[in-house]
Amino acid sequence: MTTAPGWVKAHPAEATSEREVMASHDPASLALALDAAVLDRGDVRPLLDRIKMPVEVVSGESDQATPPELGQEIAVSVGRGRHTIVDGAAHHVPTEQPDAIAALLRDD
């Protein structure tokens, strides 16, 4: 699990729950999903300008898998994109900073 520094220590119950969910997945299915997400993922950036609806791109400030710079690039490539960087989060922003996600959904 890629989380912001200190998140696991600060949220042991949530971290345990996340690990249990990951461990409950069928290993073969999980391997296929990881391959699709990481190894076999094509570059969709040339297609982003086709999106005509508003898009909120959310990046965790410490995300090493999908860094904030890539989130900004995606937001700019989408005609109506907006990019938000969430402090205190890495790749699992909804888990690490649920209040920030709720505020974005409410458009606070």
The answer to whether residue 2 sits within a structural domain is no
CATH number of the domain enclosing 80: 3.40.50.1820
Q: Which domain holds residue 58?
A: 7-106
Number of domains in the chain: 1
Q: Long-range contacts made by residues 34-40, C-beta under 8 angstroms, separation at least 24?
A: none
pLDDT of 108 higher than 70? no
User: Higher pLDDT residue, 3 or 75?
Assistant: 75
What mean pLDDT is predicted for residues 17-43? 82
What mean pLDDT is predicted for residues 74-98? 94
Question: What local confidence, expressed as pLDDT, does residue 87 receive?
Answer: 96
pTM of structure? 0.75
The answer to whether residue 96 sits within a structural domain is yes
Residue 56, Cβ density class (10 Å: 0-12 exposed, 13-18 middle, ≥19 buried)? middle
The answer to whether residue 1 sits within a structural domain is no
